Amino acid sequence: EVQLVESGGGLVQPGGSLKLSCAVSGFTFSGSSMHWVRQASGKGLEWLGRIRSKPNNYATAYAESVIGRFTISRDDSKNTTYLHMNNLKTEDTAVYYCSSPGYSISGINDYWGQGTLVTVSS
């Protein structure tokens, strides 16, 4: 069974930093790209970025809204990906999901975690 489990969410002050983790089981993590998507309460989905696998040089790509503030990394030995968030703003308050195509040939994100809530407030 495929599982993606996010952790690390919580309350942080504006300007602060937070690191989210996403632990993966059930597919070959090292061969899969990993994505982060967020959703503010009552709003739509916003793709934040992705990190590709080692054969693809761990290439990253980001949404314009988070460039320079958010960084995605991964530790293949721990089957975990991370979202490092700096200079947080109130508008970053959202549920943060990690997702992945896994071993699917579709190319889209077949697998999603349940999300972790980040609240940016003073």
Partner 1 sequence: DIVMTQSPDSLAVSLGERATMNCKSSQSVFSVYSTENYLAWYRQRPGQPPEPLIYGASTRKSGVPDRFSGSGSGTDFTLTISRLQAEDVAVYYCQQYYTTPWTFGQGTKVEIK
The alpha carbon of residue 12 and the mean position of all alpha carbons in its chain are separated, in whole angstroms, by 17
Nearer to partner 1, 23 or 63 (CB): 63
Residue for token digits 């998507």? 37
Nearer to partner 1, 47 or 73 (CB): 47
* φ, ψ of residue 54 in degrees (nearest 5): -55, -45
Nearer to partner 1, 32 or 115 (CB): 115
Q: Are 36 and 83 in contact (CB under 8 A)?
A: yes
CB of 58 to partner 1, least distance (A): 15
Nearer to partner 1, 41 or 77 (CB): 41
The binding site for partner 1 (CB under 8 A) comprises 35, 37, 44-47, 49-50, 61-64, 97, 99, 106-110, 112-115
Q: Are 49 and 67 in contact (CB under 8 A)?
A: no
User: Tokens in use for 76?
Assistant: 């293949």
CB of 106 to partner 1, least distance (A): 4
Q: Among residues 45, 49, 59, 41, which one has the least CA distance to residue 20?
A: 49
CB of 83 to partner 1, least distance (A): 15
